[in-house]
Amino acid sequence: MGDSSYNYKMFKCFNRKFKASEAGPPPDVKAIFSKFAQDGDLMSVDQFRSFLVEHQGEPADAVTPSDAHRILQEFSRRHPGEVAHHHQHVRGLTLDDFFNFLFLEEPTKKQIHHDMTAPISHYFIYTGHNSYLTGNQLSSDCSDVPIIKALEKGVKVIELDLWPNSAKDDVQVLHGRTLTTPVTLVKCLKSIKEHAFVKSPYPVVITFEDHLTPKLQAKVAEMVIQTFGDTLYYPVAEDQMVEFPSPESLKNRIIISTKPPKEGSGSKDSSEEDEKSGSDGEPAIDKANAAEAKSFQQSAPEYKRLITIHAGKPSGELKDALAVGDKVRRLSLSEQKLEKAAEDHGTDVVRFTSKNILRVYPKGTRFNSSNYKPHVGWMHGAQMVAFNMQGNDKYNWLMHGMFRANGGCGYIKKPDFLMHKGSNYEVFDPKKTLTVKKTLKVKVYMGTGWHLDFSRTHFDSFSPPDFYTKVYIVGVPADCGKQKTKIIEDDWIPVWDEEFTFPLTIPELAILRIEVREYDRSEKDDFGGQNCLPVSELKPGIRAVPLYDKKGEKFKSVKLLMRFQFV
């Protein structure tokens, strides 16, 4: 008797885990349908258009009656079994049709909509660090594969560390003074050429950290010209630029950024590489390099001529390095040096970045290719916040989320307050806490799709999962906050119906981070998906938010139904 009772219970448990309960429309959805369908059973095309304009915030001139009709026809083609009235034309939507339609509503703007005609120093640029590494900073393989993956995600700044091969007759890409296995420079350059503009036509910047003799620098110049041809952009005049060109003017072009070789020196100072590797800053220049200095006049000028963005590191006082001169340039700071600069010279950093480019890179002790808080750089106007793109940490999620803005083109126009100078040349002070500019209300209705994308026993062996959602704002310190829903037990399609409020002082830099977890009493809660969305790009109204895995790959079916309101 005991055994049969146990088996019956087990059968019930197994039976339960296979079933995903059907969740109907939340109360808000029913109320909105009634409001716009005027208590009828069908929302007409005109009523549907009114919903899109009045509730979803779509511009009235962008959604004409014919547009609304076309949207409904497209929906009926994609969901022929769910739309009851679609013969030669679509009469309208039932409540269930309307509910299904909401799961197609994108949460953010998809098109490029920023002004792209300002100098590139006016933009945040999607930037990679040691872009050739497949894994950790000490022993992973160097390859063109992570470069290709980064470009396909929309990364627009690729970093290559250049070293002589053992015979000193060719150039390799590797992380110097580590056990990383090299890849040839020419292979990296060819892959950049093939994939540079897959995501958008805006320019790709290649930053070189080079440790080369003048003869090999000349070889690099030859490789670069042969590989890129007319795609390569560099100034006609040899003088350093007084203003950078715009992303619009550099469409489908490749540009080089590195520290120009000094006349009479065998190789450039490599102190950025030394800091990244954790050494004491001794330049990696051997006797062979020094002996070749005499050949400078014949070789290095060609290399120097190709450098569009002249780079350097601070030497001496940091405040002096941040001085704004007549010629534009790029300055590189480690994450720790940026934090020190932010503490001691915050407004000087903002003033510098209003015209020049600041690149921030991970400290040398991040051997596991982890990342750091990007907002310290962004709130000081740093254009190139360089990340280890092969990592799967939450900071990488934020970086990918930030650059979903502006159509995912890799360039985001910096907020006006970071570019504005007062009558006495005063600039934005990141240390000052501002008043609340707008408040974001986030309502988490429900989630679905796990039963389609995961095995039945992925979360719990004998019962459906226990999901909850965490909602964060990540931005300037005054705006950061987190909330979480209650746990919904034993349900593949959880319904939370909870609202959270986030006051924002600088919404332009705020990112909404969403993470779903499955509660586990005995172990760490299981990961159920995440998404990061730039607040500046959020569309108001009821939206379907797709979730991604830890690597940043989108799940096929998992979505949250949410509502966004700005008050």
pTM of the entire structure?
0.90
- 206 and 284 share a domain? yes
pLDDT value of residue 141: 95
In the block, residue with structure tokens 């594969």: 145
In the block, residue with structure tokens 């006051």: 503
Domain annotation covers residue 324: yes
- CB contact burial 109-130 (16+ within 10 A = b; e otherwise): beebebebebbbbbbbbbbbbb
The CATH number of whichever domain residue 386 belongs to comes to 3.20.20.190
Residues 6+ apart with CB under 8 A from 243: 119, 328, 355
pLDDT value of residue 239: 79
pLDDT value of residue 425: 84
- 269 and 347 share a domain? yes
- 453 and 392 share a domain? no
Catalytic positions: 129, 175
Domain annotation covers residue 461: yes
- 412 and 472 share a domain? no
- 244 and 288 share a domain? yes
- 293 and 151 share a domain? yes
The CATH number of whichever domain residue 474 belongs to comes to 2.60.40.150
- 386 and 259 share a domain? yes
Rounded Cα–Cα distance for residues 560 and 563 (Å): 10
pLDDT value of residue 238: 73
In DSSP terms, 478 is beta-bridged to none
Domain end point (choices 102, 134, 156)? 102
Domain annotation covers residue 54: yes
- 203 and 291 share a domain? yes
Rounded Cα–Cα distance for residues 387 and 379 (Å): 17
- 414 and 445 share a domain? no
Rounded Cα–Cα distance for residues 385 and 335 (Å): 9
- The parent domain of residue 486 ranges over 438-566
Rounded Cα–Cα distance for residues 381 and 414 (Å): 7
- Return averaged pLDDT per consecutive 10 residues of the chain, 567 residues in all: 42 46 86 91 94 95 91 81 48 91 94 98 98 95 97 98 95 94 97 98 97 94 97 88 96 96 57 42 42 52 94 90 94 97 96 97 94 97 96 93 98 96 90 96 98 94 95 97 97 97 98 97 94 98 97 96 97
pLDDT value of residue 278: 39
DSSP single-letter state for residue 230: G
- 376 and 497 share a domain? no
Rounded Cα–Cα distance for residues 211 and 286 (Å): 9
* Domain count across the chain: 3
